[in-house]
Amino acid sequence: MSLNYRDRIPNNVDLGTNRSLQRALEHWQPKFLTWWQDLGPEGFQAADVYLRTATSVDAKGWATYGKVKMPDYRWGIFLAEQTADRRIGFGDFYGKPAWDQVPGDFRSTLRRLIVTQGDTEPASVEQQRLLGQICPSLYDLRNLFQVNVEEGRHLWAMVYLLHAYFGRDGREEAEELLARHSGDADKPRILGTFNEPISDWLSFYMFTYFTDRDGKFQLKSLAESGFDPLARTCQFMLTEEAHHMFVGETGIGRVIRRTLEVMDEINSDDPEALRKAGAIDLPTVQKYLNFWFSSSLDLFGSDVSSNAATVFANGLKGRPDEGRYEDHVCVEDVFDLDKPDGKGGVETETVPLRNAMNEVTRNAYVKDCMIGVKRWNRSIAKAGKPFELTLPSTRFRRQIGSWAGFSVMPDGTPIDEEAWNARVNEWLPTEADQQFVHSLMRQVTAPGKMASWIAPPDRGINNLPVDYEYVHLG
Ligand SMILES: [Fe+2]
Ligand SMILES: [Fe+2]
């Protein structure tokens, strides 16, 4: 199969002039397309979808809109523009010139970082593959597919790095990225959250709000990397990631808005009455939030981590927005961490800052998560309802780090297992909650129509009206 790379794969890496790289990608591309057909959005491969495609990195080209069938989407390869004389911004090599090639000593570590990031991209497409069949509107269906094709592009971005810089092992890793599958018993995806099923749209919005935001912070850390091609790749990916979190934030906001409307319509805030009227009660929204937030927190890794210290020291993975710190070397500083004291309480442990880099990034993430929560609460307060959504404590329901396996209430209070078992149904979605949410999920595909449980968006995509036919089912 031969491809005209300039037309077929928009890129700014001179693909057309590098024969061996072209050959490697030509070999991989049909496997990607087979994967997309098998594990991408089920039932919509022939639909015409109003999608944004990046055709260059400048303001004009990165968001080109038009109707396209997803298998014909032009998955491009883009790196942000190179900064002249870029220097490594942190760690032991601080101030030295950034690397254009993989430094030999860090080859396997860098490859692992790229593979771990790359693995999440197709994983989320797999997790979301059946959601189209229960979409609440054509507008939402289109947003789902936009997220899916861009996660596909992010996979391309990582596969490009593997093929272009890691030779044979890179090509093998690129194959493995299509061989592991979300939730697969034998070959699961690398990170836990990416094996959780996303089988309803409330979970999808929670995922795009909380888990894509983890992606944002991982990309921000890698955008600081001393390995310049990785840094530039991740910088460009961040422009697309913003839309994914927008889908989550506005999705949850619209669910809440609809619930508030129904509260007024039936003049009740009784969860059962609301459910009967086809809306999702706010305590259920809180439980889903608790689940996806706590699951996403684990993605940042252990709070004390020699691995995190090493990748920071070696200039491979920095802190998000490294530029806002004064000290970029961090050999003197320490960090105070909360951990269980072994007697049912909490104690503080002081560790070298470099070993706490995961926690530094996690804290920045938590702060960012608060923005949407505040916005949702404002809409609840404005409607005059006495309910407030909260982010649970970072100790709640952790499976990684010093709180892993400990029973902790959402407010951060450690409790014993018996107390946990007695109350867990107040905090996390029960089977009955999930069944109820599922029962609401019926496909709505008339242009402009919304499912009973969600309010319409404030505006459409790219200045089009909300009732535009964003997906032509054909
Ligand atoms: Fe992504
Ligand atoms: Fe994303």
Domain count, the chain: 1
Centroid of ligand 1 to alpha carbon of 123 (angstroms): 10
Centroid of ligand 2 to alpha carbon of 247 (angstroms): 10
The ligand minimizing its distance to the Cα of 248 is: 2
Q: Distance (Å, rounded) from C-alpha 448 to C-alpha 465?
A: 9
Centroid of ligand 2 to alpha carbon of 419 (angstroms): 37
The ligand minimizing its distance to the Cα of 128 is: 2
Full pLDDT tens readout for the chain, 474 residues: 444 555 677 889 988 889 889 889 989 999 999 999 999 999 999 999 999 998 888 877 778 899 999 999 999 899 999 999 999 999 999 999 999 999 999 999 999 999 999 999 999 999 999 999 999 999 999 999 999 999 999 999 999 999 999 999 999 999 999 999 999 999 999 999 999 889 999 999 999 999 999 999 999 999 999 999 999 999 999 999 999 999 999 999 999 999 999 999 999 999 999 999 999 999 999 999 999 999 999 999 999 999 999 999 999 999 999 999 999 999 999 999 999 999 999 999 999 999 999 999 999 999 999 999 999 999 999 999 999 999 999 999 999 999 999 999 999 999 999 999 999 999 999 999 999 999 999 999 999 999 999 999 999 999 999 999 999 997
CATH number at residue 278: 1.10.620.20
Centroid of ligand 1 to alpha carbon of 259 (angstroms): 30
Centroid of ligand 1 to alpha carbon of 7 (angstroms): 23
The ligand minimizing its distance to the Cα of 151 is: 1
Asked whether 118 and 212 are in contact (CB, 8 A), the reply is no
Centroid of ligand 1 to alpha carbon of 149 (angstroms): 10
**Residue 4 pLDDT:** 58
Centroid of ligand 2 to alpha carbon of 135 (angstroms): 19
Domain range spanning residue 305? 5-472
Centroid of ligand 2 to alpha carbon of 156 (angstroms): 13
The ligand minimizing its distance to the Cα of 146 is: 2
**Residue 5 pLDDT:** 56
